[in-house]
Amino acid sequence: MSFGLYSIGFAIVIGGLIYAAYLLQMPTRWIVVGAVVLLGIGILTGVKATRQKDSAS
Whether pLDDT at 52 is above 80:
no
User: How many domains are there within the chain?
Assistant: 1
What is the reported pLDDT for 54?
A: 65
What is the total residue count of the chain? 57
What is the reported pLDDT for 49?
A: 82
pTM for the complete prediction? 0.78
Instruction: Decide if 29 is inside a domain.
Output: yes
Range of the domain at 14: 3-47
Give which of 4, 40, 39 is closest to 18, Cα–Cα.
39
Measured CA to CA, the distance from residue 1 to residue 29 in angstroms comes to 34
Instruction: Decide if 52 is inside a domain.
Output: no
What is the reported pLDDT for 46?
A: 86
- Per residue in 3-33, pLDDT (tens digit) is 888 889 999 999 999 999 999 999 999 999 9
Instruction: Decide if 53 is inside a domain.
Output: no
Measured CA to CA, the distance from residue 16 to residue 10 in angstroms comes to 10
Higher pLDDT, 39 or 52: 39
